[in-house]
Amino acid sequence: MDWEPYTQRARGWFESLRDQICAAFEEIEREASSNAQFTYTPWSREEEGNDDPGGGTQGLMKGKVFEKVGVNVSTVRGNFPKEFAANINGADPENPGFTATGISLVAHMKNPHVPAVHMNTRFLTTGKAWFGGGADLNPPIPYADDTEAFHAQLRAACTAHNPTYYDRYKKWGDEYFYLPHREVHRGVGGIFYDHLECDDDPSWDRNFAFTQDVGKAFLEIYPKLVRKRMESDFTPEDEAQLLEYRGRYAEFNLVYDRGTIFGLKTGGNIDAILMSLPPRATWS
C-alpha cells in the first residue's frame, strides 16, 4: 500500500493543530499583557544518497506566562541506521526505510502553580504503518482538580473511540513516564499509545480520527488549566520546587524519551529535538 498520500494528510493535520495551539498560547500571553509570540525556524534533514529527506519547523516562544514553549512539526523520510532499525516496529536491517510525520510540544511555565505539559502525536511507516502519541501533565505543585480535569478530557477522547483505550493507555503512560533510577513518575500522568497499526483505509481513518481527538482534547483542556493558575502568587520556595522538578524532567527526556532517541538516531535538527529541555533547572 502506498502510504505517502496518508502521510501528507496526517502532516496537514499536525500543521493545522500546531497553528491552533500556537494561536491559543499567544492569546494567553496577550491576556497577561505580553507581546510574546512564536518564532518559526525551518530546518532540513540531510542523509547521504537521499534526495528528499524532509525536515520540519521549530516553533518557540518565551513569554510572561510560558517561560519556554516549543511546538514542532516535522516530516522526514530515509533509512534507519542498521543497529537502530531492529528497535523500530516493522523495520529491520534488511528493510530500514521509514517515513515519519508528527507534532511535538513541551511547555515550561514561569509560575510554579501552572503545570508543565507534554503532547506528541505521530504517524510512521516502515514495513508497517501506525500512529502513536500521548500527553501528560507535569505540575511542580500538583492540584487534584487539575489532574482530574486533564484526565477527564483524555478519558472522553479515548472512550469515544474504544471503551478500553483510556485504561489501557493511561496504564501505558504511567509505566512510560517514569524515572526508574529515582523510582518516581515525572508528573501526574496522562496517556501514551504506540503501534496503533493501519492495514487499510478503514483502519487508517479510525486511528487517524483517534489521534486527531487526542490533539483536540489537549487544546481544549490545557489553556483552561493555564488560565486558572497563571496569576497565582508564589514564594521562593515554590520556585525552588519548580526548578528541582525541571531537573527530573530533563533527566527523563535525555535518558528515556523515545522521541529524543528517535530524533538523534535519524539525523534530526538538534535544537528542535532538545527544545523539550527547560530553560532553567537545579539539581541538589
Whether the pLDDT of residue 284 is over 80: the answer is: no
Query: Helices 201-229 and 144-159: crossing angle, nearest 10°?
Result: 160
DSSP run (H or E) holding 240: helix 236-255
Q: What dihedral angle (degrees, nearest 10) is formed by the CA atoms of 145, 148, 154, 159?
A: -140
**What share of the chain in percent tops pLDDT 90?**
83
Q: Would you state the pLDDT for residue 176?
A: 95
Q: In which band, very low, low, confident or very high, does the pLDDT at 184 lie, cut at 50, 70 and 90?
A: very high
Count of alpha carbons within 13 angstroms of residue 269, beta-carbon side:
21
- What pTM value is reported for the model? 0.94
Q: Would you state the pLDDT for residue 50?
A: 84
196-229 pLDDT, tens digit each: 999 999 999 999 999 999 999 999 999 999 999 9
41-92 pLDDT, tens digit each: 999 988 887 888 999 999 999 999 999 999 999 999 988 777 776 777 777 7
243-283 pLDDT, tens digit each: 999 999 999 999 999 889 888 888 888 999 899 999 999 99
- The residues, ordered by sequence, that sit 6+ positions from 238 with a Cβ below 8 Å of its Cβ are 112, 113, 140, 141
Domain 4-276, CATH among 1.10.760.10, 3.40.1500.10, 3.30.70.20, 3.40.109.10? 3.40.1500.10
Average pLDDT over residues 22-37: 98
State the chain's mean pLDDT as an integer: 94
- Would you name the residues annotated as active-site residues? 118
Closest CA to 135 of 193, 194, 191, 210: 191
DSSP run (H or E) holding 108: strand 97-109
Please answer whether residues 217 and 209 qualify as being in contact, where contact means their C-beta atoms are separated by less than 8 angstroms. Answer: no
